[in-house]
Amino acid sequence: QVQLVESGGGLVQPGGSLRLSCVVSGFTLDRYAIGWFRQVPGKEREGVSCFSSSDGYTYFTDSVKGRFTMSRDNSENTVYLQMDNLKPEDAAVYYCAAAGEVCYSDEGQYDLWGQGTQVTVSS
């Protein structure tokens, strides 16, 4: 069964950290680009970061550069999003998604999506 499952969300104070996990099954990471997106109710979904298997490069949206990092464990078929120095504006439901080997800014190019995990940043 092809699926992505996120976990690791929760409540954290501003300045705190969380690590999100995206476990994929039914396909191998080395042939796909994995992106992280987030969505706040009433707003469009926003691309946060993406790892491209074609060039090995990781892309980040400007608002999270220097605070978020992506990593992956191919043996565990898991992608991680480490989020440090979290801000209230980072609160959202976070999704991981898979596309072809390259990253796309258009979320419509991502064929597979997880169910999302809630991140709340509040004191």
pLDDT of residue 55: 79
State how far the Cα of 120 lies from the Cα of 2, in Å rounded to an integer.
28
State how far the Cα of 95 lies from the Cα of 9, in Å rounded to an integer.
10
pLDDT of residue 58: 87
pLDDT of residue 24: 95
Q: Encoding tokens for residue 37?
A: 């997106």
Residue 13 has pLDDT above 90, yes or no: yes
pLDDT of residue 29: 84
pLDDT in tens, 52-63: 887 788 899 999
pLDDT of residue 91: 98
pLDDT of residue 27: 87
Dihedral pair phi/psi, residue 88, rounded to 5°? -55, -30
User: Mean pLDDT, the chain, as a whole number?
Assistant: 94
Q: How far is CA 77 from CA 5, 26, 33, 104, 107, in A?
A: 11, 10, 13, 21, 22
CA-based nearest residue to 30, from 68, 78, 70, 69: 78
Share of the chain above pLDDT 70, in %: 100
